[in-house]
Amino acid sequence: MNNIIIKSEPVQNYLKAIYASTNGDEGASQIDIADLVGVTPSGVSKMLRQLERKNLIRYEPYRPVHLTESGRRIALETIRHHRLLELYLLQNLGYSWEQVHQEAERLEHHISEDFEDRIDALMGYPQFDPHGDPIPTRDGRIPEEVRTTLESQTVGACVVIRRVTDENRDLLCYLAERGLRPGVVLTLDSREPFGGSLIVDIGEQEVRVSPEAAKHIFVEEVTEPVPWSK
Beta strands in 80-227 (DSSP E): 158-164, 185-191, 198-202, 205-209, 217-221
Predicted pLDDT of residue 6: 55
Q: Which residue would you say has higher pLDDT here, 229 or 96?
A: 96
Task: Say what the pTM is.
Answer: 0.89
Bridge-based pairing state of the strands 185-191 and 217-221: unpaired
For the chain, percent of residues with pLDDT exceeding 90: 86
pLDDT for 6-46, tens place per residue?
568 999 999 999 999 997 778 999 999 999 999 988 889 99
Predicted pLDDT of residue 224: 62
Contact 130, 100 (CB under 8 A): yes
Domains and CATH numbers, the chain: 3-67 (1.10.10.10), 150-221 (2.30.30.90)
pLDDT for 92-139, tens place per residue?
999 999 999 999 999 999 999 999 999 999 999 999 999 999 999 999
Half-sphere exposure of 37 (CA within 13 A, CB side): 26
Q: Is 70 exceeded by the pLDDT of residue 226? A: no
